[in-house]
Structure 1
Amino acid sequence: MSTATPADWQVRPAPRTAEEWIARAAAVAAVLATDAAARERAGAPPHEEVGLLKESGLVTLLGPAEHGGGGQDWTTAYRVIREIAKADGSLGQLLGYHYLWNWAARLVGTREQWEHVEAEAARNRWFFGGAVNPRDRDVVVTEDGDDLVFTGRKSFSTGSRVSDVTVLEGVLEGTDQHVFAIVPSNSAGLTFHDDWDNIGQRLTESGSVTIDGVRTPWSSAAGYVDKEFRPRVYNTLNVPTIQLVFVSFYLGIAAGALETAATYTRTRTRPWLHGGHDRAVDEPYVVDTYGDLTAKLWAVEALADAVAAEGQELHDDPDAVTEQARGDFEVRVAAVKARATDTALEIASRVFEVTGARSTTRAEGLDRFWRDIRTHTLHDPVAYKRREVGRWVLEGELPEPTWYS
């Protein structure tokens, strides 16, 4: 990380409003941006950068204020993710996944469980990772007295080596019951592998993990009472919530690409020698491209904010969430996910048209925005998001809650 470190966040007044938290995120992003391209090329685990997220208090954003958390809601969290992702897509993803896994206790657990987890997470500024990849073979969970024992392997575990705690998920042996539990990331039997080697989102620590007899008390099984799961429709909001997290860092990365490109165009891009202009910023095609891409980004950001507000109404009254309300919300999420995917990919690709050939040097790192977007937008096929919207429009069909819808 750059030697241009911030003043001690601990002595600064803690943000109290959504606007102050977003401003805090922008200040953190300014620090992350100073060496983002070089850091991405180096590919080292972002321990120091995650430390900055902790020191600045951003990791506690959704935590209860009475335990030192920010006391904010998801509409603010999505905006904070966007700000961080403008500077560093990997850190935006890490923070977004952290918020989801922190909130998972509330989504799935009993009140006693989630109040305990949220209090401890806020007090200790835990950073969350997760080993939950539904495309892999299920992790097997067995009983051993008052303990559960998780055994298996997952090919992706975002946050892994930079996390304090990890969310595990598996199927209770001999049943079809899924079990979520939070364990310390340094638990015996939990081994994170350094095998994440993708073209984008290179610092998300998303390598594979071996889960070899990791033990946790039955009492930590989220949502279980006397070894019986207590389901709620609210449990199924995990997917639309994480999909909005995806939207947030997609839009943040796209905004970062535009801002970085615009700075380059203003300061370094040369006008075309046959265009008749002295400055690149006066080239009609350059002005038009920036206007076009900015308008598209603003449109999707506005839709994302509207859908986030709709989702917050469900989070505010979880016991009143119905299948219809959940389904209608998932359709809206699918729509903004599709638009964000297409728009972010277009922006991250087309900025090269208005920066010029010299902007493609590795030192500039302008390609990292496209590589980050391209890598993560393959998480689940966007065609199926458009299908959800189309089926709802034509038949009133609600998406079936799955790991991806």
Structure 2
Amino acid sequence: MSTPRNAPGRSATHPADDAIWHRVTRELSDDLAADAPVRDRAGKAPFDEVARLQEAGLPALLTAPGADPRGTRRRGTGGRATDRRGADWRAASAVVREISAADSSVGELLAHHYVLSWSSRFFAAAAADGALLPLDTCTADEQWLLAGDVEPLRAESEAAAWPGLTLTPAADGWLLDGRRAFASAVAVADRLVVGARQGGAGDWLVVLVDPAHPGVFTEPGTDRVGQRLSGAGTVTFDRVPVPAAHVIGVLPHDEHAVTPFAALAPLALRLLLAQVALGIAEGALAEARDVNRAGHAGPHAVSPAGGPGSAVDPEPMATGDDPYLLLAYGELATTAHAASAVVERATDALARALETGPALTPEERADVAVLVAAAETLTGRAAVRITTRVLELVDGAEGADVRGGGPGFDRFWRNARALTAHTRPSHRLRDIGDHYLNGTHARLTLPV
């Protein structure tokens, strides 16, 4: 049953200081990893997880970077004065990846939050009126957790069959109506960032909505295969007022009017979700390694005399000396390293594109799109392969059975499958091949 969303209380923690944000992230990651299997089994809305994020200051840290517009100097978590806010793309990617290794649902939540914080950068350039809401500044100042999504541009036939969200002019702004599903944090977010079409036609407006309004109803996503704690759900908007001051930007209906810089928005989200997938793979591999290092050999431990599970050798060798186990870990570690290298290259390319800003050219955006597609494809395959193989490596190992309260390695596989199920590797590879062979640019519109 649909129920109005009530926001939990928030702490007043400031963004982590530059000198200690690595430690803050590591401490939070360790904290999340300690009870990740228990929380995954419970499958509750991530209010507790968000409280931990707020206490650490990560939502405020993970906003688009820039100087404090008020010209004031803040005190970071470590007490040192700073006149900067937010985190640059590389730093934010590192945070998302490390958190995802511990709890990929929380990593996905942070990925959506960070990309949405860039909305006023991506879409304000298309508006004739420059007096739009600076979302990154507001998010950092108010320490909001953002959720939502910007409606992709669709063909007219699709728009008629699935109209999405609409805005109707009102005296002091707009009225928002409609219903749509969101992948992350809608049950726990402080603000929603959504795209809606004016009167059902024309350009999309990107607007900020308070989910605590009585006209906003949230149905949490339940019985999910994986990513159970990401806070996914469906939201219904019933004549929700949107003041003109809460318009963040404009996404033109005409795809030829979409700037290459605005078209980075979907690439940014796809790449951060690739970081989440890579975090899943690395987290699964590290936890499996810890089990095997402890000497808890499963039924696949082998001896040179008798092979897997053989009774020929009454005293099997120690797990750490098992050549087949070493081979398996060598292959999986190499898979993770290869995916990491491609992701890092794409991360650097996107960071440079974001630094370029509105001056970004279509050619530069196309080069970034190819690298993101490659990163997305490789990490998706690596995450599924590694998490599947890890289940075999720890099968029967002491403490590895989720039913007995152990680490629950099945959650890594379920999370990897849920995260990557919507991607289409064949489409990505086709785009890469078309660009490599023919120099074709990917479309600038937001993909469906």
Deviating 4+ runs (over 6 angstroms): none
Amino acid at match of 2:105: S
CA distance in 1, matches of 2:269, 2:35: 28
Amino acid at match of 2:297: T
Alpha-carbon shift at residue 303 of structure 1 (Å): 1.6
Alpha-carbon shift at residue 140 of structure 1 (Å): 1.6
Greater fraction of residues in helix: 1
1:5 aligned residue: none
CA distance in 2, matches of 1:286, 1:193: 45
2:163 is the alignment partner of 1:126: no
2:23 is the alignment partner of 1:23: yes
2:266 aligned residue: 239
Give a deviation string over 1:345-400, Cα, whole Å, max 9, x none.
10010012221234344333100001001011022312211111011112111111
Q: What are the within-5 Å matches in structure 2 for residues 2-41 of structure 1?
A: 14-17=16-19, 20-41=20-41
Residue of 107, 121, 130 corresponding to 2:122 = 107
1:208 aligned residue: 234
Question: With structure 1 as the length reference, what TM-score do the two structures score?
Answer: 0.89
1:155 match: secondary structure: strand
Identical amino acids, percent of aligned pairs: 29
1:233 match: secondary structure: coil
Alpha-carbon shift at residue 10 of structure 1 (Å): 5.6
Question: With structure 2 as the length reference, what TM-score do the two structures score?
Answer: 0.81
Alpha-carbon shift at residue 148 of structure 1 (Å): 1.2
Q: What are the within-5 Å matches in structure 2 for residues 235-384 of structure 1?
A: 235-267=262-294, 268-270=296-298, 271-272=301-302, 274=310, 277-358=316-397, 359-362=400-403, 363-364=405-406, 365-384=408-427
Alpha-carbon shift at residue 257 of structure 1 (Å): 0.4
Alpha-carbon shift at residue 113 of structure 1 (Å): 3.3
Alpha-carbon shift at residue 266 of structure 1 (Å): 1.7
Q: Is the 2:220–2:234 Cα contact (8 Å) retained in structure 1?
A: yes
Structure 2 unaligned segments of length 5 or more: list them: 1-10, 75-83, 153-157, 252-256, 303-308
Distance 1:264 1:107, change over 3 A: same
Give a deviation string over 1:190-249, Cα, whole Å, max 9, x none.
111023321100011111111111111223222359xxxx95331111011001111110
Q: Is the 2:151–2:194 Cα contact (8 Å) retained in structure 1?
A: no
Residue of 179, 186, 190 corresponding to 2:212 = 186
2:416 match: secondary structure: helix
Deviates more, 1:20-29 or 1:118-127: 20-29
Give a deviation string over 1:106-145, Cα, whole Å, max 9, x none.
211256535x322221122100010546595421211113
Aligned CA RMSD, in angstroms, stands at 2.5
2:233 match: secondary structure: coil
Q: Is the 1:131–1:158 Cα contact (8 Å) retained in structure 2?
A: no
Q: What are the within-5 Å matches in structure 2 for residues 31-70 of structure 1?
A: 31-63=31-63, 64=66, 66=68, 70=85
1:215 match: secondary structure: strand
Alpha-carbon shift at residue 48 of structure 1 (Å): 1.8
Give a deviation string over 1:68-102, Cα, whole Å, max 9, x none.
56442111111110100011010000011110111
Query: How many residue pairs end up in the alignment?
Result: 391
